[in-house]
Structure 1
C-alpha cells in the first residue's frame, strides 16, 4: 500500500469519528490503567461491568490494596484470567504507592515495570491518559493492519513499528482508536463487513465480502 492510499484511509476514518477514544469507562489515569490490565483477553463490555461495581468502592491504589487479592477477585471474577489479574493489580497498587506516591507515572519504563503491564498496556495509558502519540497494537489492529495492507507485519511489534513509520504525525494520537473500532465493528475476524466499510475501495484485501 502506498502513502497516498494510507492518507485517504486516515482522512476518512477521521471524518467519520473526529474525536475517538477508548470504550473502557474511566475517570482517572489509575482507573484507566486498571481497566486496561483487566481487558487483556476480555471484552471492554465485560470490564466495564466489573469496574462499574469496583470503582465506587475502590478506585485508588490504597483502596484496592486494602481489598486484598481475595476481596478484589469478588469484583472481577466475571473476567477471564481474573486470578492472575487480581494478583498483578494488587502488586501494581503496592508498587504505585511505594515508588510513585500513588500516581500513575507518565513514563514508559516505569509503566512497563508494573506487574501485569506490558508494552501494549503502557501504550494505551500513555496515549489515552497522557496524550502521547503512541500506537497500541491489539488483535484488532494487528488484523486490520495486515488484512487491509495498511501496515503489514508478522507480529504486533512489527506492526507497531510499521504504523509508527507510515502514519503522519497529525494522525498518530488517534489512529489506534480508529483501527480498534474498525476491527471491532466492521473489519471483524471471521467475515469482514466489506459492503458497509467506508474504506473498502482503498483496502487491498483480496477476498472481500458483500455484507
Structure 2
C-alpha cells in the first residue's frame, strides 16, 4: 500500500470516529493500568464487569494493596487467569507506592518493570492515559494491518515498527483505537464484513466477502 492510499484510509477512519478511545472503563491512569493488565486473554466486557465493582471500593494503589491478594480475587474471579493477575496487580501497587509515590509512571521502562505489564500494556497506558503517539499492536491490529496491507509484518513487533514508520504524525495518537475497533467489529477474523466496510475500496485484501 502506498502512502497516498494509507493517508486516505486513515482519514476515512478518522472522519468516522474523530475521538476514539478504549472500551475499557476507567477514570484515572491507575484505573486504566489495572484494567489493561486484567484484560490479557480476556474481553473488555468481562473486565468492565469486574472493575465496575472493584473501582468504587478500591481504585488507588493503597486501596488495592489494603484489599490484599485474596480480597482482590473476590472482585476479579470472573476474569481468566485471575489468580496470577491478582498477584501481579497487588505487587504492582506496592511498587507504585514505594517507587513512584503512588502515581503511574510516564515511562515505558518504568511501566514494563511492573509485574504483569508488557510492551503492549505500556503502549496502551502511555497512549490512552497520557496521549503519547504509541501504537499497541494486539491480534486485531496485527490482522487488520496485514490484511489491508496498511503495515505488514510477521509478528506484532514488526507491525508496530512498520506502523510507527508509515502512519503520518497527525494520526499516530488515535490509530491504535481505530484499528482495534475496526478489527473487533468489521474486519473480524473468520469472515470480514467487507460489504459494510468504510475502507473496502482502499483495502488490498484479495479475498473480500460480499
> How much does 1:168 deviate?
0.4
Equivalent in the alignment of 1:154: 154
- Map 1:1-211 to 2 at 5 A: 1-210=1-210
Partner Cα distance (1:145, 1:83) in 2 = 33
> How much does 1:177 deviate?
0.2
Partner Cα distance (1:139, 1:62) in 2 = 33
What is the aligned length?
210
Output one character per residue of 1:103-128: Cα deviation in whole Å (capped at 9) or x when no partner.
00011110000000000000000001
Q: Identify unmatched segments of 5+ residues in structure 2.
A: none
**Equivalent residue of 2:130, what SS?**
coil
Partner Cα distance (2:170, 2:131) in 1 = 13
Could you state the TM-score of these two structures normalised by the residue count of structure 1? 0.99
**Equivalent residue of 2:202, what SS?**
coil
Partner Cα distance (1:110, 1:57) in 2 = 27
Partner Cα distance (1:77, 1:162) in 2 = 37
RMSD over equivalenced CA pairs, Å:
0.5
> How much does 1:201 deviate?
0.6
Output one character per residue of 1:116-161: Cα deviation in whole Å (capped at 9) or x when no partner.
0000000000001011000000110001001111100010000000
Which aligned segments of 4 or more residues in structure 1 are displaced greater than 2 angstroms? none
Partner Cα distance (1:186, 1:65) in 2 = 40
Partner Cα distance (1:12, 1:142) in 2 = 19
Partner Cα distance (1:95, 1:48) in 2 = 24
> How much does 1:81 deviate?
0.9
Q: Identify unmatched segments of 5+ residues in structure 1.
A: none
**Equivalent residue of 1:129, what SS?**
helix
Partner Cα distance (2:117, 2:184) in 1 = 23
